[in-house]
Amino acid sequence: MGTSVKRGSPPAGEGEAERRADERRLAELRAEIDRLDGEILRLFNERLERARAVGAVKRRLGLPVRDMRREAEIFRRLAELNRGRLLADRHLVRVFAALMAAAREVQSDGAHPADGFGTPALFAVFGNPVVHSLSPVMHNAAFAATGYPGMYAAIRAKDIRPAMAGVRALGFRGASITIPHKEAVLACLDFIDPRARRIGAVNTVVNDAGELKGFNTDWEGIVRALGERVALAGRRVAVLGAGGAARAAVFGARHAGARVTVYNRTRDKGEALAVALGADFRPLEEFDPADCEILVQATPVGMSPRTAETPLPAERLRPGLVVMDIVYTPLKTRLLAEAEAAGCQTVDGLSMFLYQGARQFELWTGLEAPLDIMRLAVETELTARG
Ligand SMILES: NC(=O)c1ccc[n+]([C@@H]2O[C@H](COP(=O)([O-])OP(=O)(O)OC[C@H]3O[C@@H](n4cnc5c(N)ncnc54)[C@H](OP(=O)(O)O)[C@@H]3O)[C@@H](O)[C@H]2O)c1
């Protein structure tokens, strides 16, 4: 197809002939795309006919229209089928989420399950920096999968006060708050959940008819992620760090019945946290793995791009210790790699991220969070980012 490399300008007329050939090729390709669109539309409708038949059977069997487990299975299977193909998984999720929403409508015999939600609801994560946040990918996938008409963006906010004024003025339905605003945002809210107040940090804002309510879902994320691996009640937990995430970890572990020791580089900050939340304090360099069964790394050390760093030398790890790193970029931090090599059980920060996000989704929408789809969306995005 005329791919030879030409030197200098083409002879008169040749450029024009090539342009006409390209125009013909464009017309041909567009005709193929139109034909494929028609075929896709026919298949979509064929699929919806089956969905209508499924709806009739479900009504006879007394089964609900919505089956989240089945939907999650479909997404997993499609992601598997799509592996290595041109369609990015985030688009695959959007296309099939829309198709499933249409199928639910058909199954409900024309009822519009999403109609009750009203006009699109706005959400954003406010932080600085925020450009690499995975929250938009995760929450937009959840909105698409559930048919909730939400739109979620990442907004860089240097100052949280005007950002929260904007949330009020523009009628945002909710917001996620991230570094460095989780503490300062408390002063901008009308109501603060007592647990968030105790932690001293809010990562979730719900706009309840003009009243801004603050919650902390990080602690629930940590407890749920750890709880999948190990029972916390009665265990000795070491928390590294004394920032917002560490406060959530200490609160969560204490709430679950664990005994907690805070290890921090700066004594004053670590001691203040320990006193406030009923934990012990030791300087970071005195960490001894014999003193705990579970270690929660809650400092930013090891986070991309400074992936070569670790808060503890590898010789401070021992087999059998459960090591959770709440950093999730990268998923396997140096600490987790060394913990694995030392025979520890490891828990990465992604589960915590998903569980704190799932709780946010539930607070904002009142719907059950589609966890599998949120996980798929985030894992795919992390893989795409390399
Ligand atoms: N997985 C999730 O869902 C999730 C949720 C929230 C946060 N996170 C992650 O958790 C990490 C911490 O967040 P944060 O909000 O708590 O941050 P932060 O408030 O900035 O945490 C600072 C804490 O880390 C300690 N620290 C910082 N650099 C250190 C170093 N080089 N050596 C030893 N200690 C060091 C500080 O010690 P000093 O007191 O001595 O300064 C302080 O206690 C971030 O990477 C964040 O992305 C993950």
| pLDDT 10s digits, 38-94 | 999 999 999 999 999 999 998 888 887 877 778 878 888 898 899 899 998 878 887
Ligand 1: which residue has its CA nearest to atom 26? Answer: 299
**Nearest-atom index, ligand 1, CA of 221:** 3
Ligand 1: which residue has its CA nearest to atom 34? Answer: 265
Report pLDDT for 302.
Answer: 96
Report pLDDT for 276.
Answer: 95
Report pLDDT for 7.
Answer: 56
Q: How far is the CA of 268 from the centre of ligand 1 (A)?
A: 16
Distance CA 145, CA 376 (A): 12
Residue located via tokens 């709806």:
55
pTM, whole model, 2 decimals?
0.78
Q: Is the Cβ atom of 357 under 6 angstroms away from ligand 1?
A: no
Report pLDDT for 66.
Answer: 75
Report pLDDT for 71.
Answer: 80
Distance CA 56, CA 234 (A): 51
Q: Is the Cβ atom of 349 under 6 angstroms away from ligand 1?
A: yes
Q: At what angle do helices 371-385 and 89-107 cross, to 10 degrees?
A: 160
Report pLDDT for 161.
Answer: 98
Q: Is the Cβ atom of 344 under 6 angstroms away from ligand 1?
A: no
Q: How far is the CA of 123 from the centre of ligand 1 (A)?
A: 25
- Kindly list the averaged pLDDT for each block of 10 residues, start to end, along the chain of length 386: 51 86 97 97 96 91 79 84 88 85 82 53 96 94 86 97 97 96 97 97 96 98 95 97 95 98 97 97 96 97 94 96 95 97 96 97 94 88 80
Are 385 and 364 spatial neighbours (Cβ–Cβ below 8 Å)? Answer: no
Q: How far is the CA of 189 from the centre of ligand 1 (A)?
A: 24
Which residues are tagged catalytic? 182
Reduce the DSSP state of residue 110 to 3 states and report it.
coil
Q: Is the Cβ atom of 135 under 6 angstroms away from ligand 1?
A: no
Q: Is the Cβ atom of 356 under 6 angstroms away from ligand 1?
A: yes
Q: How far is the CA of 242 from the centre of ligand 1 (A)?
A: 7
Q: Domains in the chain, please, with CATH?
A: 36-107 (1.20.59.10), 115-216+354-385 (3.40.50.10860), 220-347 (3.40.50.720)
**Nearest-atom index, ligand 1, CA of 328:** 1
Position 35, amino acid: R
Q: Does the bond joining 136 to the residue before it have cis omega, within 30 degrees of 0?
A: no
Element (H, E) at 214: strand 211-215
What is the DSSP track for 223-271?
HHHHHTT---TT-EEEEE--SHHHHHHHHHHHHTT-EEEEEESSHHHHH
Residues 6+ away with beta carbon under 8 Å from 358: 369, 371, 374
Report pLDDT for 117.
Answer: 46
